[in-house]
Amino acid sequence: MKNATLHAFNRLAFGPRPKDLGLEGRELEAYIEGQLYPSEIGDRAVEEELSALDALNLSGLELIRKYPDRRDQRIGLEQLTRAKLTRALASERQLNEVMVDFWYNHFNVFAGKGACRVLVPSYERVAIRPYVFGKFRELVFATAKHPAMLFYLDNWLSVSGRVPARGRRRGLNENYARELMELHTLGVDGGYTQQDVVEVARAFTGWTIEGPRRPTFFFAPPLHDNESKLILGREITAGGMREGEQVIEMLCSHPSTARFISTKLVRRFVSDDPPPALVDRVARTFARSDGDIRDMLKTIFGSEEFVASEQRKVKTPFEFLISALRAADARVENPGILARFLGRLGQPLYAAIPPTGYPDTGADWMSPGTLMTRLNFVTQMAVGRLPGVTIPGREAESIIRTLGAPEFQRR
Amino acid sequence: MDRRTFVKGVGASAITLGFAPHSLFGQSSRRKVFVSVFQRGAVDGLNMVIPFKEFEYRRLRPTIAIPDPSSVGEERILDLDGFFGFHPVMAPLKPLFDDGRLGVVHAAGSPAPTRSHFEAQDYMESATPGVKRTTAGWMNRYVESTADAEAMPFRGMSIGRSLPRSLAGRAATFTIGSVAEARLNGPAELYRQLYAGESDDIVLRAAREMFSSLDFLEGKRPGRYAPEADYPPGRFPTSLRELAKLIKADIGLETAFVDIGGWDHHAGEGSTRGALANRLREFSGGLRAFYDDLGDRIEDVVIVTMSEFGRTAKENGNGGTDHGHGHAMLVLGGPVRGGQVYGRWPGLEREQLYEERDLAITTDFRTVLGEVVTRHLGARDLDAIFPDFDMGEPLGFL
């Protein structure tokens, strides 16, 4: 039986709560449309809960100043983790949270790398969250300038070959330039060469931070390689910071980027093997709308491929845990146990080490060992033995029958 | 059924994985085992296996050098071969060296120049130094590339709180905090009903493998288990104790991962006593107990220790050492030709040091691991495990 409601909540949200399953027909359509405009959705309860998390709104520098002792600085990541779980569990703006999760993972920054530990709260808040339904290029601009990305992919160390080596700044560092093209925009087969990587790296010299203890973005003309570059066959004349901006514009209007981003979105929302015809249509939307993410999502949600893809995806550990808690109307007082389960399942929050982020196909997440851990989570939850988590009275066996079933491993 | 009776039922019907030290019935899956021990935080290899005949050693380390083997007093270097010696708290491992069951590979490590813990660990666990986008860990690639129809999905396991990078990837592996955790809690029969079915669906396939492995383990359910050695306190020895249980149960384990942190001694590293000595005591005591506990099973086991990089040859102004380059790896186990220090010694003169400050690397860690993977585990396709790496001549410790 087709269950459009379950399908919509499995894909646009982190699974349905019991009360969501009543939405049908026109109401469901209105819900889907509404999810694309989160600012018009009231979310008082979550906002109130988050208002107690004062470190969430601090920049990296503010966090360092407020908590000079390194050990105390953990509060930033702790609160961010708590906020992520709260929002995923309870926010009415579910698609917004799905997209924040998606784009953070696309522009991944590992919170465990040095200064990133104090920078990730502001990274998600300033560089990701405002743009998740906007133009794709806005995300690239915002992440390129954020101290978290500059530190994570070493661009803050990258200087013109003419600048004498000093401290950790020893010439050109290609790390960001390469990932900008391979992972953020064009994709691995997107048609660039090693020489393009070098030229792009030269264009971004001078996009820096003062250092891990003063992590604020600025453009440093003395570090910049101020000569013209040849990128993807086009000359970029010397122009300081403008060069990097031109590169981003160029990459974001490239057909490879439209295709790469469309493929990734379709993989997230439709199937591990993205249907090529749908990818084509989404890529055309990208090209036509100047990379408008909301328009691309509309193309996906309105497609036959989307409707026909029920239960096609295996839930990631995060999706599994959150959807189980939502389905059981769980109240989470202390998210520590969830963080531990995510670690054991291989998906600790803000801790994907490589710039690829976490993978998004079932084969990466489903194995005998992880299935055992998933089922143990369900059992523990059903019998009320998840510390810090309470669920309203429902028979343990009926919880296991639904949340422990193979269908619940999928979305 | 109310929650309370259900909870009781859960206890009674849980599929438990207890382990018999030696399988009494059922199929045996006794296999060669490799154990990876990762010293997270960058160990000071020069104070772990000390080049005491090196003239520069004492000059570079005025306060943290360990007293010479010839000095008077109990706390002095344990002479291994007249040139190198163990830190005195490593006494539990000295007899293994003398018996030829433990060898050292000095000036070993990862060639990537990075001095970032996270980057260097990532490079080492993916075993692709310099390549950041490798998604699978090298031990997972081993499991994947040597797929074996008869093997249980316990070929790769780690004991710890979270899945280590070394084991991450597509091949099935298990991460458990303890053996007691390696079980499916809850109503086993209900779960079996729910996941019945022969389809090739990825979820049902995982379930079939899960049940068959748990059944297999059930067949090895013991009476009481007691380790055959006294493990010192600490998380690392406890993990090894759990690992020994798994190895003795013959569940088909081939590669195991355990880590031990706390090596990042920028200040107050100490000499014969202090921060480093405390970590080395737990490290050595744990390894020795593990060795003894395994009894004759040690003949099938090779253990390799490694760290993301070493530390500066010269001590810093705070009685510690900073992030360096080369360090020393230990190889121990039944099949090991120990009793010697392998690798070419690069020296500690200023011009011999890497970037004039750190112990240089003369043996790539993959050369050490490659020898274990080929000669001990019998893998043939090394390129699938260590891509784009020419391991060269094996050192010959196996």
Cβ atoms of B277 and B23 closer than 8 Å: no
**Cα–Cα distances in angstroms (integers) from residue A243 to residues A157, A203, A257, B326, in the given order:** 18, 6, 19, 40
Distance from CA of B219 to the nearest CA of A (A): 18
Residue B26 lies in a domain: yes
The residues of chain B scoring below 50 in pLDDT are 1-27
Half-sphere exposure of A175 (CA within 13 A, CB side): 22
Mutation target to probe the A interface, by most A beta carbons within 10 A, among B122, B181, B203, B216 is B203
pLDDT exceeding 90 applies to what percent of chain A? 88
Residue B394 lies in a domain: no
Those residues with Cβ within 8 angstroms of residue A393's Cβ, 6 or more apart along the chain or in another chain: none
Cβ atoms of B155 and B143 closer than 8 Å: yes
H or E element: which one contains A59? none
Is the Cα dihedral A135, A136, A138, A142 positive or negative? positive
Tokens 């600048």 correspond to: A163
* Predicted local distance difference test score (pLDDT) of residue B15: 43
Please name the member of A346, A366, A395 whose beta carbon is closest to the beta carbon of B1: A395
What is the Cα–Cα distance from B309 to B361, expressed in whole angstroms?
10
* Predicted local distance difference test score (pLDDT) of residue B151: 66
| A21-44 residue pLDDT tens | 999 999 999 999 999 999 999 999
Cβ atoms of B287 and B240 closer than 8 Å: yes
DSSP tag of A205: T
Residue B131 lies in a domain: yes
H or E element: which one contains B364? strand B363-364
* Predicted local distance difference test score (pLDDT) of residue B4: 44
The pLDDT of A247-255, averaged and rounded, is 98
Cβ atoms of B329 and B105 closer than 8 Å: yes
A343 lies within 8 A of chain B by CB = yes
Query: What residue ranges do the domains of chain A occupy?
Result: 255-308, 312-402
DSSP B29-65: B---EEEEEEETT---HHHHEEETT-HHHHHH-TTTP
Residue B391 lies in a domain: no
Q: Which residue of A has its CA nearest to B140?
A: A364
| A310-355 residue pLDDT tens | 999 999 999 999 999 999 999 999 888 999 899 888 899 999 888 8
What is the Cα–Cα distance from A325 to A87, expressed in whole angstroms?
13
> Considering the entire predicted model, what is its pTM?
0.82
Those residues with Cβ within 8 angstroms of residue A319's Cβ, 6 or more apart along the chain or in another chain: A14, A15, A411
Contacts of B132 in chain A (CB under 8 A): 175, 354-355
| A110-139 residue pLDDT tens | 998 889 999 999 999 999 999 999 999 999
| A363-410 residue pLDDT tens | 889 988 889 999 999 999 999 999 999 998 779 999 999 999 999 999
Please, what is the Cα angle at B37 between B36 and B42, to 5 degrees? Answer: 130
What is the Cα–Cα distance from B86 to B94, expressed in whole angstroms?
8
What is the Cα–Cα distance from A368 to B214, expressed in whole angstroms?
10
Residue B344 lies in a domain: yes
**Cα–Cα distances in angstroms (integers) from residue B30 to residues A189, B27, B149, in the given order:** 45, 9, 15
Tokens describing residue B362: 């003369």
Quote the number of domains for chain B: 1
Chain A 355-384, residues with CB within 8 Å of chain B CB atoms: 355-356, 359, 362-364, 366-372, 375-376, 378-380, 382-384
Residue B398 lies in a domain: no
Check A355 against B133: CB less than 8 A apart. Answer: yes
Distance of CA A146 to the CA centre of its chain: 15
Q: Which domain holds residue B39?
A: 3-385
CATH number at residue B129: 3.40.720
Residue B390 lies in a domain: no
Q: What ipTM was estimated for this complex?
A: 0.91
Please name the member of B122, B168, B206 whose beta carbon is closest to the beta carbon of A366: B206
| B23-63 residue pLDDT tens | 333 445 678 999 999 999 999 999 999 999 999 999 999 99
| Length, in residues, of chain B | 398
Check A375 against B1: CB less than 8 A apart. Answer: no
